[in-house]
Structure 1
Amino acid sequence: MKGNLLIIHGGGPTAVINSSLYGVIKNAQNHPEIGAVYGALGGTGGVLSGDFYDFTQMQPKTLELLKQTPASIIGTSRKSLEPGDYAAMIKIFKQHKIKYVLFNGGNGSMDTCGKLYQAASKEGISVIGIPKTVDNDLSITDHCPGFGSAARYIAQTVAEISEDVHSLPIHVCIIESMGRNAGWITAAAALAKSETTYGPDLICLPEVAFNEDKFLSEVEFLYKRNGCAVIVASEGLKNEEGSTIVDPIFQVGRSTYFGNVGEHLAELVVKKLGIKARSEKPGLAGRASILHQSTVDRYEAIMAGAAACRASVEGKTGIMIGFERLSTKPYQIKTIEIPIEDVMLQERKMPQEFFAADGNGVTREFIDWCRPLIGGPLLQFARLNS
């Protein structure tokens, strides 16, 4: 008996969230067990209102454009759900003959996915998670769709800013990167440095306690040596007491809106060292850029969507699709099925072996791990002596 399939997006979008959606839709076409493929408009809020889009209405040419469309074409949300909302969702699923539910999101979304699975476990409805987060902080999986593109963006952007700073070496530039508690995106800035690019001089990670005196001493040394410095700092930098170095502006649930860490650090440099400094904050550009979309990230996002669709038809439920790395050189992965209970709100930070000994950067092991995910080399720049 045919059943319909529903896709829900949760949390912040990425450059490849629509690629996972594409993977689901294309794979569903191979399964006669699946009737309509719906998308919830506006995340869980769209589920509760029964506001669905039927992808059978989408033209094939438009469907192909999903792979290069930023953000979430069906919308997403960070709506907090009450216990009664899950029972309400089950009722709506039954009304629309939905037998397969795929939830694409990060930590909070996988928690919601797990609770929805528990509510649907006796209703004959399959609930499966598709990983998605630029922060790369979902547990167990080697990495998450969305991270590779965000990593490519920060690395290329830092390489370009570094060229600018070194061509007019008069100031310190602080680049603030996304990542509340896990420094994966910040660390990826290390890929900016090569034989023909300057790259960052310091990388400040949220897992490493920030010491103001040590930071200022290192900046002063770099400035005296080079006449400039490029520093990449996480938005979630914390002091030795575990508090963020800039008080949050606003906090609701798991969502924290930090103050401007880059601006704070630039002010420290100006006021305490008397050195000209400025801050840059790419912000949403780092997760919305299709120009910097990683081809590997896009391919794997499609793979994850297809694997989730296939698993649901096979009768599986209560899992999240993840990646297991088989080798780094050559780069090979395979999809795996992770019990959703092992993922719900289990934040994955960078392991110790990826931190440089002095805490100001990353190891070669991290660079080797990360490089395949950005989908090929960054742009190379001219040098007068080359």
Structure 2
Amino acid sequence: MIMNIAVAQSGGPTCAINASLVGVFKQAVKTPQIDAVFGSLNGIEGIINDQLIDLKLVIKTNEDMELLRQTPSTVLGSCRYKLPDVEEGGETYERILNCLEKHRIEAFFYIGGNDSMDTVAKLSDYLAARNSKIRVIGIPKTIDNDLPVTDHTPGFGSAAKYVAATVQEIIRDSSVYSIESVTIVEIMGRHAGWLTASTCVLRANDEIAPHLIYLPENNFTAEKFLEDIRNQMAKHKAVIIAVSEGVKLKGEENKPRVVDNFGHEYLSGIGKTLEQLVKENIGCKVRSIELNVMQRCSSHICSKTDIDEAEEIGSAGVKAALAGKTGKMMIFKRISDVPYVVTVDSVDAHDAANKEKFFPAQWLSEDGNDVNPEAVRYFLPLIQGEVKIAMKNGMPVHFKL
């Protein structure tokens, strides 16, 4: 029986989310029973508003696929749209079902993070209640690496590689002067400090810095922070600190918050706050650096392992749907660190929807200002390999719709 499928991307951009799109597309075009492959513009909103494009008309060659695979961000556009509960959002779900049925779509693939799995879970529940045979599969992505159940998420490895390389360059820059200095690098991570913690991989190349690493999972006080810096300044003239954006100073927990549709707080500024704290209490040269969105889409130094796995898990999602699975999120299971071996499996999307995976307590140092060597062994395989980036006029070339 011939069927059509649709795929959408959601949440924050990454270096690898388009590679997962390629994985879905490539597996679809070589599957005889799949005809049209539709791309939904701006996530689930494209299904609700019937804004679909035929991907076979825009991805025409193997060269197109390779260029798309190494292009950062979400080529189909993204959204942060929260589906209403099934019992309250009848009209929205009817519009989704009408769009899927109109285009004879029998499988829908949603590439995204924690909140996107909420959409996968709700939509699959609705379709099952309507006795629909349309399958819904979640393909994971997030640079935060905070999706539960899966060993890691596509997008994280490339972000970790960029952050580590950038911090290493900051180390070189900061070490040239004879005066004492403190450099605070603010790294993404709202509640989970995986990305900040990943800067520890520099120790595999005999770097001592970052000298201090602070994650949201630890209690944080200004007094202990200043004490830690003074201890490090006794040993190093240039102290480098990695701090997650979600770290909060004691007493600031009840500040007014700005949140998105899923209730997630928009964060930034801990670096500047800590810079001022050091300036007032220690008085040395100090600067803060917020890496901001560069962490998500710096594909010029992406991890080949990350890009390859992102494509693989997209392809596996199509195979899962063809096998009759629905309401599932695809996951990685790690078999070993050395040699690095993972397998792809699936779990109920409800197990990941709106849930977070925190940095393991056993990998945190007793002082709460660093991570243990076990973390290095976990992170290192995820940043391996380089992608041969297509270049033109000395700059990377990106796929554009």
Q: Distance in 2 between matches of 1:338 and 1:14?
A: 23
In the alignment, the residues of structure 2 paired with residue 86 and residue 264 of structure 1 have an alpha-carbon distance, to the nearest angstrom, of 44
- Secondary structure of the 2:173 match is helix
Query: What one-letter code is carried by the residue in structure 2 that aligns with 1:163?
Result: R
Once the two structures are superposed, the pairs formed by residues 217-366 of structure 1 within 5 Å of their partners are: 217-239=227-249, 243=253, 247=255, 250-252=258-260, 253-366=262-375
Q: Secondary structure at the match of 1:203?
A: strand
Alpha-carbon shift at residue 67 of structure 1 (Å): 1.3
- TM-fit CA distance, 1:135: 0.5
Alpha-carbon distance between aligned partners in 1 of 2:10 and 2:316, rounded to the nearest angstrom: 19
Contact 1:33-1:313 within 8 A present in 2 as well: no
In structure 1, the residue matched to 2:182 is 172
Q: 1:43 to 1:99 in 2, by over 3 A?
A: same
Partner of 1:70: 72
Which residue of 213, 216, 238 maps to 1:206? 216
Cα displacement string for residues 97-147 of structure 1 (whole angstroms, at most 9, x for unaligned residues): 110100110001101111011111221100010000001111111111111
Change (3 A) 1:313 1:195: closer
- 1:36 maps to what in 2? 36
Which residue of structure 1 lines up, in the alignment, with residue 394 of structure 2?
none
Which residue identity is paired with 1:294? Answer: S
Pairwise CA distance, 1:242: 9.0
Amino acid at match of 2:253: S
8 Å contact from structure 2 (residues 117, 138) kept in 1: yes
1:248 CA drift (Å): 5.9
Q: Does the CA-based 8 Å contact 2:110-2:139 persist in structure 1? A: yes
Tell me the residue number matched to 1:59. 60
What amino acid is aligned across from residue 105 of structure 2 in structure 1? I
Which residue of structure 1 lines up, in the alignment, with residue 83 of structure 2? Answer: 81
* Alignment partner, residue 134 of structure 2: 125
**In the aligned structure 2, how far is the partner of 1:94 from the partner of 1:188?**
44
Per-residue deviation at 1:33? 1.5
Query: What is the 5 A alignment of 1:77-116?
Result: 77-82=79-84, 83-84=89-90, 85-116=92-123
Range with greater deviation from structure 2 (172-181 or 346-355): 346-355
Amino acid at match of 1:222: Q
Query: What percentage of residue pairs aligned between the two structures are identical?
Result: 38
Kindly indicate whether residue 42 of structure 2 is the aligned counterpart of residue 46 of structure 1: no
1:163–1:198 contact (8 Å) kept in structure 2: no
* RMSD, aligned α-carbons: 1.7
Q: CA deviation at 1:214?
A: 0.7
Q: Measure, in 1, the Cα distance between the counterparts of 2:66 and 2:373.
A: 37
Q: Unaligned 5+ residue runs, structure 2?
A: 387-401
**Runs of 4+ with >6 A deviation:** none
Q: 1:110 corresponds to which letter in structure 2? A: M
Q: Distance between the aligned counterparts of 2:234 and 2:290, measured in 1?
A: 25
Q: Runs of 5+ in structure 1 lacking a partner?
A: 378-386
Letter paired with 2:184: I
Per-residue deviation, 1:249: 5.4
CA shift at 1:80, angstroms? 2.7
Say if 2:192 is the partner of 1:185: no
1:376 to partner: Cα distance: 4.4
Q: Residue in 2 aligned with 1:143?
A: 152
What's 2:391 paired with? none
SS in 2 for 1:291: helix
- SS at 1:334's partner residue? strand
How much does 1:76 deviate? 0.6
Asked if the contact 1:162/1:198 (under 8 Å) is kept, the reply is no
Q: Structure 1 pair 142/195, CA: closer, same or farther in 2 (3 Å)? A: closer
Partner SS for 1:262: helix
Instruction: Work out whether residues 279 and 285 of structure 2, in 8 Å CA contact, stay in contact via their aligned partners in 1.
Output: yes
Task: Read off the aligned partner of 2:108 and give its amino acid letter.
Answer: V
The 3 A distance-change label for structure 1 pair 240 and 101 is same
Once the two structures are superposed, residues 197-230 of structure 1 have per-residue CA deviations (whole angstroms, 9 ceiling, x without a partner) of 3430100011001011010011122224322210
Alignment partner of 1:197 is 2:207: yes
Instruction: Determine if contact 1:159/1:193 at 8 Å carries over to the other structure.
Output: no
Q: What is the CA–CA distance in structure 1 between the aligned matches of 2:13 and 2:243, rounded to whole Å? A: 22
Asked if 2 retains the 8 angstrom alpha-carbon contact of 1:90 and 1:119, the reply is no
The number of residue pairs the alignment matches comes to 375
Contact 2:49–2:95 under 8 Å retained in 1? no
Report the residue type matching 1:14 in the other structure.
T
Equivalent in the alignment of 1:18: 18
Q: Deviations over 1:239-284 (max 9, x none)?
A: 567938xx46522333311241111101100011112211101111
* 1:163–1:197 contact (8 Å) kept in structure 2: no
The 1-side partners of 2:360 and 2:231 are apart by: 28
